[in-house]
């Protein structure tokens, strides 16, 4: 019933845009029917990776990162890379702890990593990690933001969230984006701002790495829409966070909640001014009211989408829940059915997309990467041993937009070295 209704809406989206439901093949980097973290791990243990990032190095080298939030103490490690010896292995490549096993050995080691949930690779060879501090909803440590230098694989900064930034055992972080554009040139690679969506706490967390300041933004548009709560994803609020490219004069921060059809925008400069969001003192309570009106509903897509990411051309990509499709919208157009295009349709590859990223390849081009899981795994369902549970699929954004066959930088390298 629900599914039919979705498809009806999708067909409307497609036909309005006069497009064909044509299957597009993304590049499959890895897939797992059996995800094992360690050889001494009990069989049939369930691990649910949720986020990915592809780091491109020189000469087309690459490294793949995965977050595997801890559902129990039985998760040997929670931030992983594909073992370098298995980098070219398509099926069931082995994983390794990142940066090493010492960071993961004890679950309640608050100076290690408790439960990595989101990552972001910036333009300064740094990996930003959000650690929820939770194991199966138990808040063992404060949530942390960790910044690793990817050249030396060493920690360069850590930030423990103060208690006013999150709600223990409730806050779950579903997206993070990092922006370096506001830092002055000499400080660029010391600073950066992280924006984190707290989907179950209904707020946006901002952390400025240069000053160490942090603040939290809450607004009614970050709460689940009452009208559509029946859609199952009952209490998830703000689910995504994306930013206009840094070269754009008037920049916006975009987000949506999981169960609403609306896309919301707010000017980045308002988000970045912490004094706009201070509610503690009575005099500044009015600031929040003043800036509140700048949250703008761009329009409705008439359908739910989950993970969302923006490329350096201002194209916002979103995966449509359980429909096997990716849609794209350019920020310089209106948010109507005519402006939202389906750029990929492949129900075998695009299932439940929990991680959606734009990574820069060695040539500086944008590539879109998705971690796609079988949705049954998230609702306690079981799959056959040989069924694909997780896959990492990607495509140059230029190929998505021009509807040319999907290529990625990793293929160039493989082709030239053989």
Ligand X SMILES: *[C@@H]1O[C@H](CO)[C@@H](O)[C@H](O)[C@H]1NC(C)=O
DSSP string, 255-293: E-BTT-SEEEEEEHHHHH-GGGG--SSGGGHHHHHHHHT
Return the beta strands (E) in 126-283 as ranges: 126-131, 134-135, 138-139, 144-149, 154-160, 173-179, 193-198, 203-208, 214-217, 242-243, 252-255, 262-267
103 binds ligand X (CB under 6 A): yes
Question: Please, what is the minimum distance in Å from the beta carbon of residue 317 to ligand X?
Answer: 19
335 binds ligand X (CB under 6 A): no
292 binds ligand X (CB under 6 A): no
The stretch among 245-253, 268-276, 321-329, 384-392 that binds ligand X (CB under 6 A) is 268-276
Instruction: Please identify which residue in 112, 201, 237, 324 interacts with ligand X, judged by CB under 6 A.
Output: 112
Query: 306 Cβ partners below 8 Å, 6+ apart?
Result: 239, 240, 258, 318, 319, 320, 321, 352, 353, 354
CA dihedral 335, 336, 338, 344 (to 10 degrees): 60
Question: Please, what is the minimum distance in Å from the beta carbon of residue 335 to ligand X?
Answer: 9
139 binds ligand X (CB under 6 A): no
Q: Let me know: does 55 contact 376? Beta carbons within 8 Å.
A: no
d(CA 396, CA 311): 11
Question: Please, what is the minimum distance in Å from the beta carbon of residue 273 to ligand X?
Answer: 4
275 binds ligand X (CB under 6 A): yes
Question: Please, what is the minimum distance in Å from the beta carbon of residue 336 to ligand X?
Answer: 8
Between 286 and 404, whose beta carbon lies closer to ligand X? 286
Shortest-Cβ-distance residue relative to ligand X: 112
382 binds ligand X (CB under 6 A): no
Would you call 27 helix, strand, or coil by DSSP? strand
Would you call 138 helix, strand, or coil by DSSP? strand
Question: Please, what is the minimum distance in Å from the beta carbon of residue 276 to ligand X?
Answer: 4
d(CA 36, CA 68): 11
Instruction: Please identify which residue in 19, 167, 225, 287 interacts with ligand X, judged by CB under 6 A.
Output: 287
Instruction: Please identify which residue in 5, 12, 333, 403 interacts with ligand X, judged by CB under 6 A.
Output: 333
Phi first, then psi, for residue 358 (nearest 5°) are -105, 120
115 binds ligand X (CB under 6 A): no
Question: Please, what is the minimum distance in Å from the beta carbon of residue 269 to ligand X?
Answer: 7
Binding residues for ligand X, rule: CB under 6 A, are 102-103, 105-106, 109, 111-112, 273, 275-276, 287, 333-334
């Amino acid at each position: 019933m629900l599914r039919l209704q979705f498809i009806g809406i999708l067909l409307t989206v497609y036909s309005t845009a006069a497009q064909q439901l044509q299957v597009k093949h993304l590049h499959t980097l890895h897939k797992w029917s059996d995800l094992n973290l360690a050889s001494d791990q009990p069989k049939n243990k369930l691990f649910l990776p949720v986020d990915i990032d592809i780091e491109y190095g020189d000469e087309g080298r690459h490294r793949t990162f995965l977050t595997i939030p801890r559902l129990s103490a039985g998760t040997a490690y929670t931030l992983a890379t594909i073992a370098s010896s298995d980098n070219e292995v398509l099926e069931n490549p082995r994983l390794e702890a990142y940066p090493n096993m010492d960071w993961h050995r004890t679950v309640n080691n608050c100076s290690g990593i408790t439960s990595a949930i989101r990552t972001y690779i910036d333009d300064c060879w740094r990996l930003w990690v959000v650690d929820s501090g939770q194991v199966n909803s138990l808040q063992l440590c404060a949530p942390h933001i960790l910044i690793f230098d990817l050249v030396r694989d060493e920690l360069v900064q850590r930030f423990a969230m103060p208690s006013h930034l999150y709600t223990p055992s409730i806050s779950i972080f579903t997206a993070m984006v990092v922006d370096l554009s506001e830092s002055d040139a000499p400080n660029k690679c010391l600073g950066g701002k992280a924006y984190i969506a707290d989907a179950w706490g209904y707020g946006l967390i901002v952390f400025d790495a240069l000053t160490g300041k942090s603040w939290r933004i809450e607004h009614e548009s970050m709460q689940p829409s009452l009208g559509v709560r029946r859609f199952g994803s009952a209490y998830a609020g703000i689910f995504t966070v994306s930013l206009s490219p840094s070269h754009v004069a008037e920049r916006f921060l975009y987000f949506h909640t999981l169960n609403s059809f609306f896309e919301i925008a707010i000017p980045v400069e308002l988000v970045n001014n912490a004094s706009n969001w201070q509610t503690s003192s009575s005099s500044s309570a009015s600031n929040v009211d003043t800036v509140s009106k700048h949250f703008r509903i761009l329009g409705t897509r008439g359908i739910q989408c989950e993970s969302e990411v923006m490329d350096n051309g201002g194209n916002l990509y979103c995966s449509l829940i359980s429909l096997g499709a990716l849609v794209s919208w350019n920020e310089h157009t209106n948010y109507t059915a005519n402006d939202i295009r389906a750029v990929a349709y492949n129900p075998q590859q695009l299932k439940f997309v929990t991680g959606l990223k734009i990574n820069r390849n060695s040539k500086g081009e944008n590539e879109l990467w998705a971690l796609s899981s079988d949705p049954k795994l998230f609702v306690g369902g079981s799959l056959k041993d040989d069924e694909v549970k997780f896959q990492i699929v990607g495509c140059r954004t230029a190929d998505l937009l021009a509807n040319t066959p999907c290529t990625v930088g990793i293929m160039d390298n493989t082709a030239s070295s053989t």
